[in-house]
Amino acid sequence: MKRRDFLKKAAGGGLLAASAVTAAPAIAAPRKRFNWKLVTTWPPNFPIFMEGVQRFADDIEKMSRRRFRISVFAGGELIPAMQTFDAVSQGTVQMGHGAAYYWAGKVPAAQFFTAVPFGMNAQGMNAWLYNGGGLNLWRDVYRPFNIVPFPMGNTGVQMGGWFRKEINSIADLKGLKMRIPGLGGKVMAKAGANPVLLAGGEIYTALERGTIDATEWVGPYHDQRLGLYRAAKNYYYPGWHEPGPTLELSVNSKAWAELPEEYQLMVENAAAAANTWMLSEFEAKNLQALQSLKQQHKVNVLEFPPDVIRELRRLTAEVLEDEAKKDRIFREVYQAYRSFNSSNTAWNEISEAAYANALTV
């Protein structure tokens, strides 16, 4: 009898406890609604790039229960592709997506937050930005421009580019008109080439018409979709100029300060999720596209000659030193990048690189 009484009381207590839990109010989302605009440097329907940005916007809308909506615009739909940085800086729009090295003319140090020739790959860049102080440094660099940056995407190691003629020596680069941005473009200029900065939507036409002699873009998946194999047949690797280019989400600092903390956390986490998804998608699709380029489109997939790579690496060191002398902020970021990269390289030699070498023994 006592046991039955005890069980009844326990059951009653459990029901009361369950009722209390059920009745507890859910944490209310902020009542204010936000409708933001996000402009990009990418062409409309650009796979992975625009997909990743749209996933980011969709995730935030779902997490906020539709109280925080972000409308995404491709390059040229609302703002010219190469004016994304200015639009976010001036508060014309709240968000942008592109690559930091596009703004080298305004912010020379920004180039470190996309890619450095012969520098860190995607894994190294993520380690530096998230856990090595790189993101804080990036935000310090962008603060005068009223922008809060976030890593949001990475292509992984890119291809070296499409060339209308073969590259057998460093002399073959002299006078070459090549679409190549960032520090890689400065290295090519030092090698005697003429670097050109073009938005993605302009590249194929320029190469096909001979306005440029060569171009780098992304990797096999995107290069095939852009049809670059129809304008040039020599496809070189490795992408020495962009070993792990990080893409950026930029947020106007005033708009950022007005967001409730919950929504700021949503942005941070959705950007990190998009960062992982985009890199994974590139890795999953590039090999199949490369095989198609070789087998169906008869593309010559060629490795840069060792002498060319050695000379480009030497010229990279010269470019970095030259740029550091011109700009104090560039010099400070360069020192921080170089310090982390040194440790990352030492570890990589007995981890990733050692494992890769073990597969060829």
Sheet with 234-237, edge to edge strand ranges: 194-196, 177-179, 214-215, 161-163, 234-237, 300-303
Chosen CATH of 34-154+244-284 out of 3.30.590.10, 3.40.50.620, 3.40.190.170, 3.40.50.20: 3.40.190.170
Residue 70 backbone phi and psi in degrees, to 5: -125, 120
Same CATH fold, 161-241+296-326 and 34-154+244-284?
Answer: yes
pLDDT tens digits for range 260-310:
999 999 999 999 999 999 999 999 999 999 999 999 999 999 999 999 999
Query: Which secondary-structure segment (H or E) carries 148?
Result: strand 147-154
**pLDDT tens across 256-265, in order?**
999 999 999 9
What is the average per-residue pLDDT within 332-349?
Answer: 95
Torsion of CA 290, 196, 169, 323, to 10 degrees: -110
The phi, psi pair for 216, rounded to 5°, reads -105, 150
Confidence at residue 201, expressed as pLDDT on a 0 to 100 scale? 77
* Per-residue pLDDT reduced to its tens digit, 7-31: 444 444 443 333 434 444 445 555 7
CATH of 161-241+296-326, picked from 2.30.110.10, 3.40.50.2300, 3.40.50.300, 3.40.190.10, is 3.40.190.10
Look at the alpha carbons of 78, 100, 92, 90 in this order and tell me if their dihedral is positive or negative. negative
Please report the DSSP string for 295-325 in residue order: HTS--EEEEPPHHHHHHHHHHHHHHHHHHHH
Residue 50 has phi, psi (to 5 degrees) of: -70, -35
Whether pTM > 0.75 for this model: the answer is yes
Tokens 């499409």, residue? 162
